[in-house]
A and B are shown apart, each in its own frame.
Chain A
Amino acid sequence: METTTLRPPRHRVSRTAIWYWTTRAAIGWLVLIVIQSVFILTRSDALTLRVSILVATVVLALAHLAVMPRWRYQVHRWETTPEAVYTQSGWFKQEWRIAPISRIQTVDSARGPIEQLFKLANVTVTTASAAGPLRISGLDRETAGRLVDELTATAQATTGDAT
């Protein structure tokens, strides 16, 4: 019996993305930990409960930072063909998205502050559907630039209002 599956897209994202995801997640955890620490320092009741929650947070944070970015790197992949854009993303919950080039409406590339730190960029491909933007994060700048140019050129070649 044959089982049909989706093969992974061809290209991986930049390896630096691991550090980008780590930093981004670490900032969130840090905020949480700082808030809890301030609470512990300013108020003295139920100290054991507070400290144990803080310890639990730290453990959870470390586990998340150790697992998530690497796992994500294994999953995040992308590919374009003359007909379609194909992405794979997520880690615990994974998602594949396929959109035909002929239905592309915009191709955006953005660089957030943390992404700039690691010389990375993300590319978002939107269609007329609000449910279907394809987002490729953690690309190095050159690849992102090339991808945007390529997609814009092919998308322009097609006509119609893409709805």
Chain B
Amino acid sequence: MTELLVTDWRRLSPRMLLIHPVQEVVRAAPALLGLLIAGTSSGGHGPLWSIAGVGVTVLLGTLRYFTTTYRITPEHVQVRKGLLQRKVLTVPRDRVRTVDVTSNVLHRVLGLARVEVGTGRSDRKGGGDLKLDALGAPEAARLRVELLHRQAAGAGVRETAGVRETAGLQETAEAPATRADPAETELAALRPAWIRFGPFTLSGLITLGVIAGFASRLASEGDVDLREVGPVRQMLGWFGSLSLPMEIAAAVIAVAVFVAIASTFGYILSFWGFRLTRHSSGTLHVNRGLLTTRATTIEERRLRGVEVSEPLLLRAVGGGRLIAVATGLRVGQGAQRGGSMLLPPAPRAEAESVAVRVLGGNGTDSPVTAPLTEHGPAARRRRFTRALGVNALVIVVCLPLWKWADLPSWTWITALAALPATALMAADRYRSLGHTLVPGYLVTRWGSLVRRRVALERDGIIGWNVERSFFQRRTGLVTLTATTAAGRQGYRVQDVTLAEGLRLASAASPGLLDPFLSDEDHPSRPYHDDTAISPSLG
């Protein structure tokens, strides 16, 4: 293992000199295409500027190869970069939490891989992460092993690794599966049958957006009138001959079919060959991707829990995803981009059983299947008043404006028509609400458009926020937030009664809240009892 320690400054792979120009040209494709179609005769310097821009970025990309070097010392990972402003990024090796190895098609053709080293600084956007774009694939794989598997490498390495690593080893040894197997245990692998969930992921909407963006750039930069293109004109002609309801129906069907197909392709592209494995040294590996392959490694001692997320459409067909809640892995804006996906859209039962395997408990009182405590009638009322209240407010504002200020009538008609849907959603949002405590984990569930059930390790809970709006005061409810360094940084138990919320918090973090609690012997004076909380408000 020691020969892998890179102590002198090293360059990225020289093969990157080939990739950069191609990448930049692909990115500028709409402009170039426009240029080709329109020719130079149509005048205007837009395309020329685009070309010049491409030239500059190609040049800068090429220079990046010469200015970027990296090295790995026993304590640090360092990257030196920058042309005019030289920068040295240093990450202590014991702060390395994730290593992400990505190769897109170009990288794969040339045998390269991009390495991204994640640290736990999830509170700062984009800060603290090291990117090496790109290394030779074997080099990248070695680097990944080197950075994350130090504690497994035997006595010699463990000496230098110190106390904390030994503690991490013990933590992971709790899961029995890691002991039995010498190296890797497979926890989940993609089954082709899961592709049936593809159409329900709606990832195709993004494709639609990209195509629309591409077309509009082509039209503006290349001066192409899309209506002049033969097939498009025929389509528009046929479309124009339909009646309005038919037009709407045709458009909706076209978009739905397109999105479904694109989503399925998207699913195959991102998740083909998906494999989730556990390495005996205490890491989880996720490998996936058809064209662009991606390998993510998560240290299990950084894992603070899991999230079963069910977007509405996926929930309707019985599917769900599994997302890791880990420090150093940011959740949000598309979990697959954050690299925290533990299972792509799959049958919900599958997501639950993978969660059990990942968290390593027995299946009976697993945090992902344990029954949840409902939040009660007050919470239900609050869902309905909030949902219907907003709708009613819109109608109340729009009606007089329509009557006296020429507001188009569809505004309040839409709001009125949306009422049943809002009510349904309020009911569903209430049904989603739930919480419980199982040994070792706090469990909370919320949401309707995306229903999420989070199992958060109690040790991962840092502190507690108890929030109460004026209206929640009246109904005796609070929103409890368990703050954590992992995932979304805070997990809410929405609209729970104050007493139940405090019971939950003090059971999850024993002793923390005790000095600040007071037991009241007077029940049922909900409003005036508030004097106990803020003395002069009563």
Task: Report which A residues bind B (CB closer than 8 A).
Answer: 1-9, 71, 74-75, 79, 81, 83-84, 86, 88, 92-100, 103, 126-132, 134, 161-163
Q: Are B469 and A93 in contact (CB under 8 A)?
A: yes
23 contacts between A and B (CB under 8 A): A2-B521, A3-B519, A3-B529, A4-B520, A6-B498, A6-B518, A74-B535, A75-B537, A81-B515, A84-B515, A88-B533, A92-B470, A93-B467, A93-B468, A94-B473, A96-B467, A99-B462, A100-B509, A129-B123, A129-B483, A130-B123, A131-B484, A132-B465
**B residues 463-479 with Cβ under 8 Å of A?**
463-470, 473
* Residue from B123, B484, B512, B535 within 8 A of A84 (CB atoms): B512
Q: Are B490 and A131 in contact (CB under 8 A)?
A: yes
CA distance A79 to B473 in the complex (A): 23
Q: Are A74 and B536 in contact (CB under 8 A)?
A: yes
Known A-B contacts: A7-B532, A129-B463. Give 13 more (CB < 8 A): A3-B499, A74-B537, A75-B537, A79-B516, A86-B516, A92-B470, A97-B464, A98-B464, A100-B512, A127-B485, A129-B484, A131-B481, A132-B463
Number of interface residues of B (CB under 8 A): 48
Q: How far is the CB of A85 from chain B (nearest CB, A)?
A: 8
B502: interface (CB < 8 Å): yes
Q: How far is the CB of B525 from chain A (nearest CB, A)?
A: 9
Q: Are A129 and B462 in contact (CB under 8 A)?
A: yes
7 closest Cβ pairs, A-B complex: A131-B490, A132-B483, A99-B463, A128-B485, A129-B483, A130-B123, A163-B485
* Residue from A3, A8, A79, A103 within 8 A of B520 (CB atoms): A3
The 0/1 profile, CB within 8 Å of A marked 1, for residues 494-520 of chain B is: 000011001100000101110111111
Q: Are B469 and A98 in contact (CB under 8 A)?
A: no
Contacts of A3 in B (CB 8 A): 498-499, 519-520, 522-523, 529
Q: How far is the CB of A92 from chain B (nearest CB, A)?
A: 5
Q: How far is the CB of A48 from chain B (nearest CB, A)?
A: 13
Count of chain A to chain B residue pairs whose CB atoms are closer than 8 Å in the complex:
151
Q: Are A129 and B533 in contact (CB under 8 A)?
A: no
* Residue from B469, B512, B534 within 8 A of A88 (CB atoms): B534
Q: Are B463 and A8 in contact (CB under 8 A)?
A: no
Contacts of A79 in B (CB 8 A): 516
Contacts of B484 in A (CB 8 A): 129, 131
* Residue from B327, B463, B499, B529 within 8 A of A98 (CB atoms): B463
B336: interface (CB < 8 Å): no
* CB nearest to A134 among chain B residues: B463
Q: How far is the CB of B42 from chain A (nearest CB, A)?
A: 43
Q: Are B463 and A127 in contact (CB under 8 A)?
A: yes
Q: Are A131 and B483 in contact (CB under 8 A)?
A: yes
CA distance A100 to B483 in the complex (A): 11
CA distance A8 to B516 in the complex (A): 8
Contacts of A163 in B (CB 8 A): 120, 327, 460, 462, 485-486
Most chain A CB inside 10 Å of its own CB: which residue of B123, B499, B517, B518 = B123
Interface of B is mostly: mixed
* Residue from A7, A92, A96 within 8 A of B469 (CB atoms): A92
Q: Are B120 and A6 in contact (CB under 8 A)?
A: no
CA distance A81 to B511 in the complex (A): 12
Q: Are B498 and A5 in contact (CB under 8 A)?
A: yes
Contacts of B297 in A (CB 8 A): none
CA distance A134 to B483 in the complex (A): 11
Q: Are A131 and B533 in contact (CB under 8 A)?
A: no
CA distance A20 to B486 in the complex (A): 36
Q: Are B533 and A103 in contact (CB under 8 A)?
A: no
B489: interface (CB < 8 Å): yes
CA distance A122 to B8 in the complex (A): 46
CA distance A98 to B503 in the complex (A): 15
Q: With A93-B467, A93-B470, A95-B467 in contact, do A9 and B516 touch (Cβ < 8 Å)?
A: yes
Q: With A5-B532, A8-B533 in contact, do A128 and B120 touch (Cβ < 8 Å)?
A: yes
B122: interface (CB < 8 Å): yes
CA distance A130 to B484 in the complex (A): 8
Q: How far is the CB of B305 from chain A (nearest CB, A)?
A: 13
* CB nearest to A73 among chain B residues: B536
CA distance A163 to B519 in the complex (A): 31
* CB nearest to B525 among chain A residues: A3
Q: Are A103 and B123 in contact (CB under 8 A)?
A: no
Q: Are B122 and A130 in contact (CB under 8 A)?
A: yes
* CB nearest to B124 among chain A residues: A130
Contacts of A4 in B (CB 8 A): 498-499, 502-503, 517-520
Q: How far is the CB of B403 from chain A (nearest CB, A)?
A: 16
CA distance A86 to B512 in the complex (A): 10
Contacts of A126 in B (CB 8 A): 123
CA distance A60 to B59 in the complex (A): 58
Contacts of B516 in A (CB 8 A): 6-7, 9, 79, 84, 86, 98
Q: How far is the CB of A2 from chain B (nearest CB, A)?
A: 5
* CB nearest to A77 among chain B residues: B534
CA distance A126 to B466 in the complex (A): 17
Q: How far is the CB of A34 from chain B (nearest CB, A)?
A: 26
Q: How far is the CB of B476 from chain A (nearest CB, A)?
A: 9
Q: Are A131 and B465 in contact (CB under 8 A)?
A: yes
Q: Are A132 and B518 in contact (CB under 8 A)?
A: no
Contacts of B466 in A (CB 8 A): 6, 95-97
Q: How far is the CB of B500 from chain A (nearest CB, A)?
A: 9
CA distance A131 to B499 in the complex (A): 23
Most chain A CB inside 10 Å of its own CB: which residue of B122, B483, B522 = B483
Contacts of B503 in A (CB 8 A): 4
* CB nearest to A102 among chain B residues: B462
Q: With A7-B532, A97-B464, A131-B490 in contact, do A1 and B515 touch (Cβ < 8 Å)?
A: no
Contacts of B95 in A (CB 8 A): 161
Q: Are B463 and A103 in contact (CB under 8 A)?
A: yes
CA distance A99 to B516 in the complex (A): 12
Q: Are B468 and A94 in contact (CB under 8 A)?
A: yes
Q: Are A98 and B513 in contact (CB under 8 A)?
A: yes
Q: How far is the CB of A3 from chain B (nearest CB, A)?
A: 5
Contacts of A99 in B (CB 8 A): 462-463, 483
CA distance A96 to B478 in the complex (A): 10
Q: How far is the CB of A12 from chain B (nearest CB, A)?
A: 10
Contacts of A81 in B (CB 8 A): 515
Q: How far is the CB of B372 from chain A (nearest CB, A)?
A: 21
* Residue from A9, A96, A98, A131 within 8 A of B512 (CB atoms): A98
CA distance A97 to B517 in the complex (A): 13
